[in-house]
Amino acid sequence: AQSVTQPDIHITVSEGASLELRCNYSYGATPYLFWYVQSPGQGLQLLLKYFSGDTLVQGIKGFEAEFKRSQSSFNLRKPSVHWSDAAEYFCAVGGNSGNTPLVFGKGTRLSVIA
């Protein structure tokens, strides 16, 4: 069965510092991988996705993620965090049929301090 683990429930970083949010997945074939961000009272917004090809993917708002098959990981990174990045971040995995429903992790809440 598919599963996603986000080991960090809550992370606090200083504004301007770098960020890495961890995501590990379990899936029997090549997965489709996603990172979504959810701000309070808002819906889920897609940050980036990996389907195939280059294992380093660029997303919106300066985020990137790297797919590492050997580690079953898809960690999200940003070199310099802005206060507006404070939100809940969800990693998700889907099957390669393209329409397989997503399995989400429990999320990592990011707080940004001055």
Partner 1 sequence: GAGVSQTPSNKVTEKGKYVELRCDPISGHTALYWYRQSLGQGPEFLIYFQGTGAADDSGLPNDRFFAVRPEGSVSTLKIQRTERGDSAVYLCASSLVGGNTEAFFGQGTRLTVV
Q: Which stretch binds partner 1 (CB under 8 A): 19-27, 56-64, 72-80, 95-103?
A: 95-103
Residue 102 touches partner 1, criterion: CB under 8 A: yes
Q: Tell me which residues in 54-93 interact with partner 1 (CB under 8 A).
A: 90, 92
Amino acid in position 10: H
Q: To the nearest whole angstrom, how small is the minimum distance from the Cβ of residue 63 to partner 1? A: 15
* CA–CA distance, 108 with 10 (Å, rounded to integer): 5
Question: With respect to partner 1, which residue has the nearer C-beta, 94 or 112?
Answer: 94
Site size with partner 1, rule: CB under 8 A: 24
| Helix (H), strand (E) at residue 50 | strand 44-50
- Contacting partner 1 (CB under 8 A), which of 20, 26, 46, 80? 46
- Whether residue 9 contacts residue 60, with contact meaning beta carbons closer than 8 Å, is answered with no
Instruction: Select the residue interacting with partner 1 from 55, 82, 106, 113 (CB under 8 A).
Output: 106
Query: 33: which residues sit within 8 A by CB, 6+ positions away?
Result: 23, 25, 49, 50, 65, 67, 74, 91, 92, 93, 94
Are 85 and 112 in contact by the 8 Å Cβ rule? The answer is yes
The minimum distance between CB 54 and partner 1, in angstroms, equals 14
Stretch of residues binding partner 1 (CB under 8 A), selected from 16-24, 34-42, 64-72, 75-83: 34-42
CB 57 within 8 A of CB 68: no
